[in-house]
Structure 1
Amino acid sequence: MRTMRSWFRDTTGGLPATFWYLWSGTLINRLGSFVLVFLAIYLTQERGFSASQAGLVIGLWGVGGAVGTTAGGTLADRWGRRPTLLTAHVGAAAMMLALGLARDLWAVALGALLLGMFAEAARPAFGAMMIDVVPARDRLRAFSLNYWAINLGFACAAVLAGLAAQADYLLLFVVDAGTMLITALIIFARVPETRRGGYTVAATTAPRGALRTILTDRVFLGFVALNLFAAMVFLQHISMLPIAMGDSGLSPATYGSVIALNGLLIVVGQLFVPRLIRGRNRSHVLALAAVVMGVGFGLTAFAGSAWFYGLTVLIWTLGEMLNSPSNSTLIAELSPAELRGRYQGVFGLSWQIAGASAPILGGLVREHVGNAALWFGCAVIGVLTAVAHLASGPARERRAVALRHAADASAPVGDRPAAPQPAEAAA
């Protein structure tokens, strides 16, 4: 019992109050994240669209997200984290209801585009705010705790959404919009602005050469590219996996239960991951994660029953659990302090490009080449991504160390962080 209390204190203790308000908003928002989980099923079974049309709609969600995450990163640096978060959540709630009421293909497509734009505009501001308030030594466990909240909500939402979909699909959109508004209220009431300089004129002036700095940062852009390929594999669980399970004769409720295993495994095991990977080479961890995810999705080619689909989900979830905390801490260390919002936005852009292209490419491959080719292709991409992580890892770590030293040298003496723990230095 004492060991468990010590572990709990080491995992959750010492984090700032603002982090916990953000964490609570994340959990509430994800508890109602019904729509994206079931959008492919809704479009094909309720609206009668083809797999290609469903892929197009989900892809437009990703296109809107690409615009949103880019704009959100810029606004987070220039306007502020807090107003960007508030605007994004309120706008997303309104667009969620509009999408639920849309009927024609053009209206559904437009609704998905605008919803993606508002929903994803919040991510760079949220990520920048997390880095602002959490000291570097605590970020690995803070990001792991936040990821744990995301997946606790996701696991519950997947099961509840499957039941709600059997009653009324519109209920999915209403509940999702409601949780977005609750999250906005938490931010409005309890979360202060965290960007240095507040709302002064000087603070709202864009750093000179910001775009050039990002576009010439080959180490960072290489990392973004690798995340793009990993995301294209990972996001097949939202677009093509439910369609494949439907073709196997499985119901939406079964898909909800199977995909809930993803969140359940993360809820049970994610909080132990920081201790497992602490002190290990991050490039090796990311490479292993890519291989495990590739194998998990590749095995989907042989699945035909609920238990086999569930097994594949458990395998690629292990890769996801290894990937997420290493990804989050590394992107924080590769982002210059004055450009955190923009760097978060560009990194988020890789997810949005994947969100736009993965369902479209997945649908085309599945229709014209076959289901097995789609999943075997995911396995190949996973292996190639792993090799690229091993090759590019040393350059990333050198850049992270250089930025850390530059930030320490430029900070006032009283604001300089304590020396990193041995585990952080070895990461």
Structure 2
Amino acid sequence: MTADAARPFSWRSVILPAYLPTLLFSVGEGAMIPVIPVVATERGASLALAGLIAAMLMVGQLLGDLPAGWLVARIGERTAMIGASAVASAGTLLALLVPTERALGVGVFLLGLATAVFGLARHAFLTSHVPARVRARALSTLAGVFRAGWAVGPFTAAAIIAWTGSAAAVFWVLVISCAAVVVVLLVLPDPETAFGGADRPQPNPAHGVRHAIVTYREVLARIGTGVGILTALRASRTVILPLWAVSIGMRPDAAALVIGIAATIDFALFYVSGHVMDRHGRLWSAIPGLVGLSIGHLVLAFTHDLPTAVAWFTGVAILLGVANGLSSGVVLTVGADLAPKEHPAPFLGAYRTLADAGQAAAPLAIAAVTSALSIMAASAAMGVVGLAGAAMLWRWIPRYVPRRPRHPEPDEGERDEGWTPASDT
């Protein structure tokens, strides 16, 4: 039974069970992530080792996506989130109480695993229980909640460091946030039961992650690759901008202000993105986002040595913020559109692995090209790759994610059965 058949959809019915735990978890993660390199260097790690320890978060998330699909399908979203919070707390306490570089690396890796499970559980829940007519707005809001937590977290970390004088003390924020997540999930009614999840078919090994990869291999290769390029451009933006500011000799406080303004614009557009996708289709978010990110990278590549480089940097940073904001939630929404309705978690695990692979590969590619050629060449290369990704999504999204009626009748089934493997002939 789907959510549509069980009860009418209400935004109030998903705010607490879907968004509040996400906000709490992301605030803790947003506070911890910026201080990981600082804590690593305080413990004697070199800059290279500190960077490797920080990268363990993405390694854990990337390796955790596929197992997360199996786990969420087997034990349910609520239990998976509680388990993920426990693992994140355990990893953080290990990193906090054992003051070595190795313990810190293991703890950050465990946090990455927990992040994969937590994110997939929310994605699967909204995929299963939110009607198709508001799916993009619901998932864009989920993306906005994550971004809000990551924005609040660093300010919380700064306040704690100013108060205690210890960067490691910030780790307690994540421990407390995870404890709050568990309390919220235990106190609130199980959202899966409230939305008719008790009637969902039991997990079948034949519908596991391996089956999803084999059955949906073509759509994963086509749309998954395009989505991976989008996440790569997003990750590139967060790496390129600080490096570019240093390269052109911009004052750190001025660069931070510009990047902060761009991030604020990015966050402000998350609901606009969802509304556009629900009303006009997924391409109207994916293509402007990718093209805008690509143009921004290309413009940077040709303005580095100009006398007005700082002005160009400011304009491009804002352009990248707008482009990223306009594509907010599109990765989650397209994944939900493509996922099988009865057992979405295994497919979403494979889909999110491709998205996270792009996100993980971008910083490595930028570092390699910058080392071999220049930062301008790295920015130009990412811009060209982004345009290729836009062409892929322009070609394949209309095939696998067909447009829905703009105003469905109230008594129509709101869940679209979507694409099935049999249609890909």
Q: Do both proteins adopt the same fold according to a TM-score greater than 0.5, normalized to the shorter chain? A: yes
CA contact (8 A) 1:55 1:360 kept: no
CA contact (8 A) 1:159 1:260 kept: no
- Which AA in structure 2 matches 1:178? I
Q: How far off is 1:378 after superposition?
A: 1.7
- Which AA in structure 2 matches 1:205? N
Residue aligning to 1:177 = 175
Residue aligning to 2:192 = 194
2:205 is the alignment partner of 1:206: yes
Q: Distance in 1 between matches of 2:236 and 2:46?
A: 18
Q: How far off is 1:226 after superposition?
A: 1.3
2:394 is the alignment partner of 1:390: yes
Partner secondary structure for residue 194 of structure 1: helix
Residue aligning to 2:226 = 226
Q: Distance in 1 between matches of 2:286 and 2:207?
A: 33
Residue aligning to 1:215 = 214
Residue aligning to 1:29 = 25
Q: How far off is 1:310 after superposition?
A: 5.0
Q: Distance in 2 between matches of 1:368 and 1:40?
A: 25
Residue aligning to 1:3 = none
Residue-by-residue CA offset, 1:289-331 (whole Å, 9 max, x unaligned): 1111123344555579887655433222222222233333221
CA contact (8 A) 1:151 1:266 kept: no
Compared CA separation, residues 326 and 129, structure 1 to 2 (3 A): same
2:134 is the alignment partner of 1:138: yes
Residue-by-residue CA offset, 1:312-364 (whole Å, 9 max, x unaligned): 33222222222233333221121112221112211221233234433333333
Residue aligning to 1:9 = none
Deviates more, 1:132-141 or 1:237-246: 237-246
CA contact (8 A) 2:70 2:345 kept: yes
Q: Distance in 2 between matches of 1:64 and 1:267?
A: 26
CA contact (8 A) 1:148 1:266 kept: no
Residue aligning to 1:340 = 344
Residue aligning to 2:265 = 265
Residue-by-residue CA offset, 1:178-218 (whole Å, 9 max, x unaligned): 22321222122215151766499x72432447523432321
The partner residue of 1:330 within 298, 310, 334 is: 334
Q: Distance in 1 between matches of 2:37 and 2:397?
A: 36
2:72 is the alignment partner of 1:73: no
How many residue pairs are counted as aligned between the two chains?
393
- Which AA in structure 2 matches 1:330? V
Q: Distance in 1 between matches of 2:243 and 2:279?
A: 40
Compared CA separation, residues 89 and 297, structure 1 to 2 (3 A): farther
CA contact (8 A) 1:284 1:389 kept: no
Compared CA separation, residues 266 and 220, structure 1 to 2 (3 A): same
Compared CA separation, residues 273 and 151, structure 1 to 2 (3 A): same
Residue-by-residue CA offset, 1:124-183 (whole Å, 9 max, x unaligned): 111111123322222122122222322233333344445555643223322233223212
Partner secondary structure for residue 358 of structure 1: helix
Q: How far off is 1:39 after superposition?
A: 4.3
Unaligned runs of 5+ in 2: 1-8, 405-410, 417-425
2:296 is the alignment partner of 1:296: yes
Compared CA separation, residues 249 and 269, structure 1 to 2 (3 A): same
Residue-by-residue CA offset, 1:10-38 (whole Å, 9 max, x unaligned): xxx93252443321222233333123345
Compared CA separation, residues 250 and 417, structure 1 to 2 (3 A): same
Q: Distance in 2 between matches of 1:114 and 1:72?
A: 13
- Which AA in structure 2 matches 1:376? A
CA contact (8 A) 1:59 1:358 kept: no
- Which AA in structure 2 matches 1:294? S
Q: Distance in 2 between matches of 1:101 and 1:390?
A: 50
Compared CA separation, residues 323 and 197, structure 1 to 2 (3 A): closer
Q: Distance in 1 between matches of 2:242 and 2:42?
A: 11
Residue aligning to 2:144 = 148
Q: Distance in 2 between matches of 1:346 and 1:281?
A: 23
Q: Distance in 2 between matches of 1:353 and 1:182?
A: 30
Once the two structures are superposed, the pairs formed by residues 277-292 of structure 1 within 5 Å of their partners are 277-292=277-292
- Which AA in structure 1 matches 2:399? A
Q: Distance in 1 between matches of 2:293 and 2:253?
A: 24
Q: How far off is 1:244 after superposition?
A: 5.2
Q: How far off is 1:44 after superposition?
A: 6.7
- TM-score normalized by the length of structure 1: 0.78
CA contact (8 A) 1:266 1:317 kept: yes
Partner secondary structure for residue 280 of structure 2: coil
Compared CA separation, residues 113 and 245, structure 1 to 2 (3 A): farther
CA contact (8 A) 1:230 1:381 kept: no
The partner residue of 2:10 within 14, 19, 31 is: 14
Residue aligning to 2:421 = none
Residue aligning to 1:89 = 85
Compared CA separation, residues 390 and 205, structure 1 to 2 (3 A): closer
Residue-by-residue CA offset, 1:241-284 (whole Å, 9 max, x unaligned): 44555666778876665543344214433323334454434235
Residue aligning to 2:422 = none
- TM-score normalized by the length of structure 2: 0.78
Q: Distance in 2 between matches of 1:257 and 1:374?
A: 24
Unaligned runs of 5+ in 1: 1-12, 402-414, 421-427
Q: Distance in 1 between matches of 2:333 and 2:77?
A: 19
The partner residue of 1:363 within 355, 361, 367 is: 367
Q: How far off is 1:372 after superposition?
A: 2.0
Partner secondary structure for residue 180 of structure 2: helix
Compared CA separation, residues 258 and 69, structure 1 to 2 (3 A): farther
Residue-by-residue CA offset, 1:370-414 (whole Å, 9 max, x unaligned): 22222222211211111111122232125x88xxxxxxxxxxxxx
Residue aligning to 2:104 = 108
Q: Distance in 1 between matches of 2:355 and 2:361?
A: 10
